[in-house]
Structure 1
């Protein structure tokens, strides 16, 4: 109902009265007023004039009612310890595939290797539950697919050209604009779910000491509507997963990466690996050519471009 009210106010060139909204929505004027009041409390500036209600500004907060038929799958929180923690709880409780947990702020946001993810106000922080019909060994490809769809969303919504860095980063001119983290749970030999956590620097100003970072606001000088960015990504990702093609994901990733052809250092919890990044294999592992000419496939770790 809130979404319908917002759509009517946005499309109208004049204020809309309570009786007009009541007739169109087939609810009482009191119900209309309650929804208007709730919209105001959530940050929408709606002016009451002699002619009726007029929408002045819309916040970029990703409230569930902004996502139409997808709204039941959106779980929004002003603040969470971690969207990934909450998504795991929902996944274990049997939530549908493509359930989304999104928060304005995370107190314990994390990236790879258990590093803290800076979750300053204005960024887009969310986790999505995926229940793919894929064998466990192929699920790392989902990370690559998410990265590709984020690249397309940044281009469409922000006019920003980002590139993908193995295994889970998006870069703009060498600076990190997004990070991806996934966790998989298996029941028997089947994938129960894969949770993908995304941190996207949009209207925030990230401060990351060890790696250069940047936001859409810093790149363009303009704020972007976070709800629209999330809606665009979810549509792309759901469409991709409905007709999932590992071959197509690998092809697109190779076209959009800044890692292949570079000298890299891969750091894992056990050891380091240095060499030339020559390709990725069918399961998303990075193939590195070592100094002695031999090749090693790495499936996880931090990747540093050295040349």
Structure 2
């Protein structure tokens, strides 16, 4: 395919399609390219800033592929290196002062192959990069890995967090999640199932002790926070914030649960925990309180 033929593919209809996408997504401009073997053709739109070898690209889900390709080239060049690199190389041996996971054994054992095969145990923390400070370097971002909980031990689970643009079968159930759908775990149907948790409205921490282990009766019977087995980055901050707020309140006030008229209540109003994120009670929670003397 010649460069002239590539250029002929950049039609006014294509321009209209791209302009409509830019307007819909509120993107100020874009540079794109058509690449076929050694031939390329480019187009710049709004503004017309020509693409060069210095242009930056958002590679998104292809980042892992580019990284793996670059690492494989380094490994292939081992004949030119005094210390050849292999896929089994531990990351901690390459950047010992930077790479550290919350678990010491995980830090020592995680290899290049693990990181590039979605087996690191850190599947859902990639979005934390969006929260990085603008002036933050890659080294500073990697150093934060030590503060992120592992969803699984390295090399025990394959977890890839990405949008799936195709129908997704649910095991052998015969059911399918259609492409472009949003799937969400329904908390109440499980956490308030009396066949799993007897008397589910009762405050009974003992139900989680090893001799009872009600949360382990069936697979996926407990989902304490988040929408899946992936550890939420904001979980730790949210817990600290809640603990500080509760500790401050409890240390200064005596309180009891009541209804809107001040009558004592045994338990708070129920809430619909099937709602995404916030699960406020249908009716406000009322407290009768007095300053502790």
Give the TM-score, by structure 1 length.
0.24
More strand by share: 1
Give the TM-score, by structure 2 length.
0.24
Quick check: which has more Rg, 1 or 2?
2
Larger RCO (CA within 8 A; separation ≥ 6): 1
